[in-house]
Amino acid sequence: MIDPKTLAARFPGDFVFGVATASYQIEGAVKADGRKPSIWDAFSNMPGRVHGRENGDVACDHYNRWEADLDLIAELGVSAYRFSIAWPRIIPDGTGRINEKGLDFYDKLVDGLKARNIKAFATLYHWDLPLALMGEGGWTARSTAYAFQRYAKIVMARLGDRLDSVATFNEPWCSVWLSHLYGEHAPGERSMDAALHALHYTNLAHGLGMEAIRHVAPNVPAGLVLNAHSVIAGSNGAADIAAAERAFQFHNGVFFGPVFKGEYPADFLEALGSRMPKIEDGDLDVISQKVDWWGLNYYTPMRVANDPSADAVYPATIDAAAVSDVKTDIGWEVYAPALKSLVETLYHRYELPPCYITENGAAYNMGVVNGVVDDQPRLDYYAEHIAIVADLIKDGHPMQGYFAWSLMDNFEWAKGYQMRFGIVHVDYGTQVRTVKNSGKWYSALATAFPKDNHKAG
């Protein structure tokens, strides 16, 4: 086992080690204090969408247990907490009336973090779109981007004086492709046309959100969290290498290009541009406003091969075989080198600001035995991937922090409660929290920061 103190010595003294969660996955209290349904409330309650038809009605009951949960974060010794804000709590219908009780909750949460000397990293959108906005078309409608801008302005006006950082979106890949093309996440669309509309209007919403943040809270470092895919060709053949490039542009370029270059990838537009919504004058200028930082969520590589079938639609790829035989309980290949090559590739292709690893972790479903959760595979996963981040820093990449996903076991979207990503075990029947061995190891690493063994910079 990698000694946490030895690993800590490889990081600069001001490096941030934190934990991450998301509102719908932990809060519960879906009808409390004026909150109205999100698209995930509706999706979860439709048969066949979520494992066991489970939902976020109670989840980890964080809405009622937030003080004890913040105490737990403090006890772990991490210096930052990344959480998301539920739009349906703030503006229950997506537009119109502001719900003060929703803002009050996050007010208390942020004040609680400040009182415990924990940095507050907020995410404005982690997939829980107010259900009422589906009447206008949800993310396939341009109006939703402007509704998001107003929501961002309201949240930042209330919380911006105390936030250490804010992200507009978490993983737009999921809320665009996974939700509108592959149908696996809410709202469960399986339409390329719907997905392409959601793509542009989500990108636009990010830009409009940045405008709102800059206007209301100009001193808060603002960015975007992307689950960039480490796309690896299944062979050295020309067809597979070309397929990997198409996959890179489809899964990464359509987000990084508009934000960091002010343009969509040319090959993507050639293939699918005719099915995109109208890109209005000025849209790309709005989308490509400067961000202060970006977040990378990484779990597993994407291995692809060329799809030779005549009716294949861009990016025309199929899955290629895994290289590592180590898999997590969710079935994802464990392959830490892909994290390094991914960051290197992205900094080579785009002019990027400093980076936080905003999510990284592994699903292993060990339970509590005699008061202990022995989750050695998760601990090994963390050690291996955090060592890669240290390698990236040594090579000169501006890595500024790392957030473990997740603080605690929670509602894992379409997988329901069967998959556990937490460094803290949650007994959903009793809501008892138990720090896993991986959590104890991570705590030993995190408590070495901030420290003076390196010059901060």
| Neighbouring C-alpha atoms within 13 Å toward the C-beta of 160 | 21
If we measure between CA atoms, which residue out of 284, 97, 267, 277 comes closest to residue 208? 284
Please, are residues 216 and 176 in contact by the beta-carbon 8 Å criterion?
Answer: no
C-alpha distances (whole Å) from 393 to each of 356, 399, 454 are 12, 6, 13
Please, are residues 208 and 151 in contact by the beta-carbon 8 Å criterion?
Answer: no
Q: Give the C-alpha separation, 205 to 199, whole Å.
A: 10
* Token code pair at residue 262: 């002010």
If we measure between CA atoms, which residue out of 8, 44, 34, 56 comes closest to residue 386? 8
Q: Is 171 a catalytic residue?
A: yes
Q: Is 359 a catalytic residue?
A: yes
The backbone torsions φ and ψ at residue 17, rounded to the nearest 5 degrees and listed phi first, read: -110, 125
If we measure between CA atoms, which residue out of 202, 59, 209, 33 comes closest to residue 133? 202
Catalytic one among 27, 54, 333, 359? Answer: 359
Rg over CA atoms, the chain? 21
Q: Give the C-alpha separation, 180 to 182, whole Å.
A: 6
Residue 406, preceding peptide bond in cis (omega within 30° of 0)? yes
Catalytic one among 27, 54, 171, 333? Answer: 171
Q: Which residues contact 274 (CB under 8 A, 6 or more apart)?
A: none
Q: Give the C-alpha separation, 10 to 453, whole Å.
A: 9
Active site residues: 171, 359
